[in-house]
Amino acid sequence: MFFHIVLERNMQLHPRHFGPHLRDKLVAKLMKDVEGTCSGRHGFVVAITGVDNIGKGLIRDGTGFVTFPVKYQCVVFRPFKGEILEAVVTMVNKMGFFAEAGPVQIFVSNHLIPDDMEFQAGDVPNYTTSDGSVKIQKESEVRLKIIGTRVDATEIFCIGTIKDDFLGVINDPGASS
């Protein structure tokens, strides 16, 4: 799920940046440092949408670096158990398939793939129903339900299932081409 929240961070800035563009430098550095990272607490920082407040800088002894407390708004993404997500399949094998939703890596075991879908090895490994009408392969888009999450410092892992009503393939590149 996405959240729009306010976070705070102490930014260290090199003295060479002091000048009329100090604020711009600070914001640019903030974006570089924060966007695309994960925190176990808030999830994945997708984008910074605004800077609310930059506090008074504090000069560090010895180095001359200045620490600014910065309050900023950002959009974060964090998956929850029970959440329904749409994801792109990245890898299919005997054990199930891996999918990605942005920074989140999801594994769906073949136990949690409907029983009528069977694994087919070959150049493009896939799970297919016996009548061939539904196929999950690399690049397929699936709707799945999260049943377990783990948010590490830099990565987010999820366990998913498609063995439930209204879950499964929502777009199949193999069928359309």
Residues that bind other proteins (CB under 8 A): 1-7, 40-42, 75, 78, 80-84, 91, 93-96, 98, 105, 107-109, 111-112, 118-119, 121, 123, 125, 145-150, 152, 155, 157-159, 163-164
Taking the complex as a whole, the smallest distance from the CB of residue 172 to other proteins amounts, in Å, to 19
Choose between 4 and 14: whose C-beta lies nearer to other proteins. Answer: 4
Choose between 33 and 118: whose C-beta lies nearer to other proteins. Answer: 118
Choose between 68 and 145: whose C-beta lies nearer to other proteins. Answer: 145
Taking the complex as a whole, the smallest distance from the CB of residue 95 to other proteins amounts, in Å, to 5
- What does the alpha-carbon distance between residue 163 and residue 161 come to, in Å, rounded to a whole number? 6
Nearest Cα residue to 68 out of 52, 84, 56: 56
Choose between 109 and 133: whose C-beta lies nearer to other proteins. Answer: 109
Taking the complex as a whole, the smallest distance from the CB of residue 67 to other proteins amounts, in Å, to 21
Q: Is residue 46 within 8 Å of residue 9, measured between CB atoms?
A: no
Choose between 63 and 154: whose C-beta lies nearer to other proteins. Answer: 154
Taking the complex as a whole, the smallest distance from the CB of residue 92 to other proteins amounts, in Å, to 9
Question: Is residue 89 packed enough to be buried (19+ CB in 10 Å), middle (13-18) or exposed (0-12)?
Answer: buried
Taking the complex as a whole, the smallest distance from the CB of residue 22 to other proteins amounts, in Å, to 25
- What does the alpha-carbon distance between residue 18 and residue 15 come to, in Å, rounded to a whole number? 5
Strands (DSSP E) contained in the chain are: 2-13, 38-39, 43-54, 58-59, 66-77, 84-93, 96-101, 104-109, 117-120, 126-129, 135-136, 141-151, 156-161, 168-171
